[in-house]
Structure 1
Amino acid sequence: MKQKLSILILIFFSQIIYSQSDCIKSLKYSGEIKIKNFKVETILLPRTNFLKGYVKFDEIGGYIRVEPKSELFEKRSVTHLSSEFCKNSDEIIDGFFKKVKNYPIRIIEKKKDHIGEYKTLEFEIPTEKMNFKIGENGLIEIIFPKIE
């Protein structure tokens, strides 16, 4: 009995010692959309769950919804829970955000006089056109290029 108890205690403490913590990181998405003859109602931007490949863009958790008040948009969010986000912001940008090939963005306009009908534009922004900054308290800003 003592031997079984000792083994259980050993297993329990080994799990505590070798388990890795998970973290989240604050994010801010921003950019500018200026499309002629198109009134932007909603913008869908990729969440980290999608960027990592855990979900598809159209699935719950795949995108973040932004309802801009002007041509400029800004939205705060957080990453999903992962040990990848326990690193400092520079390492996260280089090791996670810059490893993504393209950043999808979906822009939606409600059609006038057509209840429930929408016009949608989709873009794939190459990572090299994206900008990343580190703000206060390690906040990572994901800056989309101007879309015209």
Structure 2
Amino acid sequence: MKRIFILLTLSLTIQYSYGQACGIYRIKYVGNIKSKSLKVEKIKLPTIQFLEGLGNENSEYGFVEIKTENDRIEVELGSHLTSNLFDKPEILLKLYERKRENIPIIITVIENGKNKEIRIELTWNNIQIKKLEDEKFGNLFELNLNEINIK
């Protein structure tokens, strides 16, 4: 009985210490939407799977939809389990640039009482990425979309 307990404890310790979860990371989208005449209702942002080239726009995993407060973008997404370990923002940005030429953003606005979707393609040159420190598991990267102007 003592041996079984020791083997079980050792097995669980090894599983938690050397599991594949080291490849999980998170991104936090931040930015602002500026519009003089349109009210922003919702925003669709690409998921990590989409940015890594694993999905397309029409799949249910391509975008995440958020409601905005004061036209401010701020949402954190978690990655799927991967064998890649991203710890430098430059490496992650290069991966995204290789897989996707631009970042598509879909903004739902209210125009004349009706919902209208506006698609905007952001270039990687206008986006800043940095690593943030926090207490949660996995690395956290901030993707700053800066100010998005819609007319």
Tell me the TM-score normalised to structure 1 length.
0.73
Match of 1:90 in 2: 89
1:93-138, Cα deviation, whole Å (9 max, x unpaired): 2442343320000000245555xxx201101111111110110143
1:21-65, Cα deviation, whole Å (9 max, x unpaired): 352102111111011211111000111211222221232111111
Match of 1:119 in 2: 116
User: Matches of 2:71 and 2:33 in 1, distance apart?
Assistant: 5
Letter in 1 for 2:121: E
Match of 2:140 in 1: 139
Tell me the secondary structure at the aligned position of residue 34 of structure 2. Answer: coil
Tell me the secondary structure at the aligned position of residue 145 of structure 1. Answer: strand
User: Matches of 2:93 and 2:109 in 1, distance apart?
Assistant: 34
Q: CA RMSD in A?
A: 2.1
Given that residues 103 and 125 in structure 1 are in contact (C-alpha distance below 8 angstroms), is that contact kept between their aligned partners in structure 2? yes
Q: Which runs of 5+ in 2 are unaligned?
A: 1-18
The verdict on how the C-alpha distance between 1:113 and 1:98 changes in structure 2, with shifts beyond 3 A counting, is closer
User: Matches of 2:44 and 2:80 in 1, distance apart?
Assistant: 17
Bigger proportion of residues as strand: 2
Given that residues 44 and 64 in structure 1 are in contact (C-alpha distance below 8 angstroms), is that contact kept between their aligned partners in structure 2? yes
User: Matches of 1:129 and 1:113 in 2, distance apart?
Assistant: 32
Q: Which is higher, the Rg of structure 1 or of structure 2?
A: 1
Matches within 5 A, 1:15-94: 21=20, 23-84=23-84, 86-90=85-89, 92-94=91-93
**Aligned pairs, number:** 125
Aligned-pair CA distance for 1:75: 0.3
Match of 2:16 in 1: none
Aligned-pair CA distance for 1:82: 1.5
User: Matches of 1:127 and 1:36 in 2, distance apart?
Assistant: 25
User: Matches of 1:124 and 1:94 in 2, distance apart?
Assistant: 16
| Most deviating of 23-32 and 86-95 | 86-95
